């Protein structure tokens, strides 16, 4: 249905529309920039979406409760002009994830912008079983410890044994879950109260996973895989 209604405007979109490109790895490995969200919808139809709680409610009753929208105001001669910002994460729970930011004068356009930008920022991650506590053949965690940084916030991720779960801040856990990581240890440094920087530091850590060159023998021993896990047909 998306393929029928979608009229691509870019060269990359036309190739996806004509089925010249059927795997998103061809785009990501080549480093091509995705400018149309329908490309991701077509190549990864099983994507899930989550909104991150980056704001908090204001007022005497219910004040301080976490919200998906972060409200800011600009004082002018005509009065206060509010704006709403939100962050969204999309992923297929199988090696692909993206985080986007959206801001608008109303909540619905801000949410739609965040989801669209999350799809345009999609990237694949590297998973494995790098924990010394077990030697699982399933890529349930990350292959090695990695660090991500944004501002003064630093996120350290460590491999965890199978069944441990996501030992990390709740909003960052949503990113790892949609990326397909089931077990991980974490440690943070700096001003972690800023949710924007904390989320960006987590994304930076995941992106740094694929920057390390790994020998083939280590890939086999630690069950390391880039992107999706392909199930064998019986």
The CATH code belonging to domain 126-226 is 3.30.230.10
231: pLDDT strictly greater than 70? no
**For residue 232, what pLDDT is reported?**
52
Inter-residue contact 203 to 148 (CB < 8 Å): yes
Average the pLDDT over 212-223 and give the result: 84
2: pLDDT strictly greater than 50? no
pTM over 0.95: no
Tell me the pLDDT tens digit for each residue of 34-47. 999 999 999 999 99
On whether the 48-123 domain is CATH 3.30.160.20, my answer is yes
Domain ranges of the chain: 2-43, 48-123, 126-226
Compute the distance between CA of residue 230 and CA of residue 129 in angstroms, rounded to an integer: 17
Compute the distance between CA of residue 101 and CA of residue 78 in angstroms, rounded to an integer: 28
Tell me the pLDDT tens digit for each residue of 20-34. 999 999 999 998 999
Give the bridge partners for 51, in sequence order.
88
Would you mind telling me the total number of residues written for the chain in this entry?
234
H or E segment at 90?
A: strand 79-91
User: Within a 10 A sphere around the Cβ of 176, how many other Cβ atoms?
Assistant: 25
Query: Cα–chain-centroid distance for residue 184?
Result: 16
Residue 105 DSSP SS3:
coil
């Amino acid at each position: 249905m998306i393929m029928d209604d979608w009229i691509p405007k870019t060269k990359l979109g036309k190739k996806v529309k004509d089925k010249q490109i059927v795997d998103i790895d061809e785009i990501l490995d080549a480093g091509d920039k995705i400018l149309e969200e329908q490309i991701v919808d077509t190549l990864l139809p099983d994507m899930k979406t989550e909104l991150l709680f980056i704001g908090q409610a204001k007022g005497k009753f219910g004040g301080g409760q976490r919200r998906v929208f972060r409200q800011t105001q600009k004082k002018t001669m005509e009065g206060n002009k509010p704006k709403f910002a939100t962050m969204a994460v999309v992923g297929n729970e199988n090696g692909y994830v993206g985080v986007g930011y959206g801001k608008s004068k109303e909540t619905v356009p801000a949410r739609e912008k965040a989801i669209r930008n999350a799809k345009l920022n999609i990237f694949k991650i590297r998973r494995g079983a790098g924990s010394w506590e077990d030697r699982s053949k399933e890529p349930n965690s990350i292959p090695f410890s990695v660090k991500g940084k944004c501002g003064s916030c630093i996120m350290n991720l460590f491999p965890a044994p199978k069944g441990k779960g996501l030992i990390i801040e709740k909003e960052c856990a949503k990113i790892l879950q949609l990326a397909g990581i089931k077990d991980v240890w974490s440690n943070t440094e700096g001003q972690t109260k800023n949710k924007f920087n904390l989320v960006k530091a987590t994304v930076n850590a995941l992106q740094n996973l694929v920057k390390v060159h790994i020998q083939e023998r280590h890939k086999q021993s630690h069950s390391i895989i880039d992107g999706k896990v392909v199930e064998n047909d019986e």
